[in-house]
Amino acid sequence: MGEYIPSTSAWVAEQVELYEGSGGTEGVTLRDTGLPVIIVTNRGRKTGAIRKTPLMRAVDGDRYILIASQGGAPTHPVWYYNLKADPHVEIRDKTEVYAMRAREVTDSAERQRLWDIAVAAFPPYQTYQQKTERLIPVFVAEPVA
């Protein structure tokens, strides 16, 4: 794999460092919310570098739901494009690490079901969707056999 390049967002870089540096025993919640996060590791589509992003923990059985909300910003987060280019990800959920393959969910019924699970896990997603004109993408990360 390529070289790891930390996020330019200080809080993201710090959270990833704390989460991974502790082996998944610290930094496992979003700032002061107490809500659980996972670390998604993927490859940058332009640089080939390793990228790591904390995302809210939303699960559907042994699959993880990844919401490309970027807080309701008008554009998709960079990791959205990275996953479209290379769907192979590693998910760290506290002390466990899984090799997975992510796919964008385009079927409306499946997307709605997964969206509802994600909103139940992190209610602000609903507000983020109301803030933006874009349809916030939903990915599902599934175990690699």
CATH number at residue 120: 2.30.110.10
Q: In terms of residue numbers, what domain contains 22?
A: 10-143
Instruction: Provide the CA 66 distance to its chain's centre, in angstroms.
Output: 5
> Is 34 within the bounds of a domain?
yes
Distance CA(121)–CA(88), nearest Å, equals 24
Per residue of the chain (145 residues), what is the pLDDT tens digit? 689 999 999 999 999 999 999 999 999 999 888 999 999 999 999 999 999 999 999 999 999 999 999 999 999 999 999 999 999 999 999 999 999 999 999 999 999 999 999 999 999 999 999 999 999 999 999 999 7
Give the long-range contacts of residues 8-15, CB within 8 A, separation 24 or more.
Answer: 12/53, 12/54, 15/54
Indicate the number of domains in the chain: 1
What does pTM read for this prediction? 0.96
> Is 67 within the bounds of a domain?
yes
> Is 3 within the bounds of a domain?
no
CB-count burial class (<10 Å; 0-12, 13-18, 19+) for 35: middle
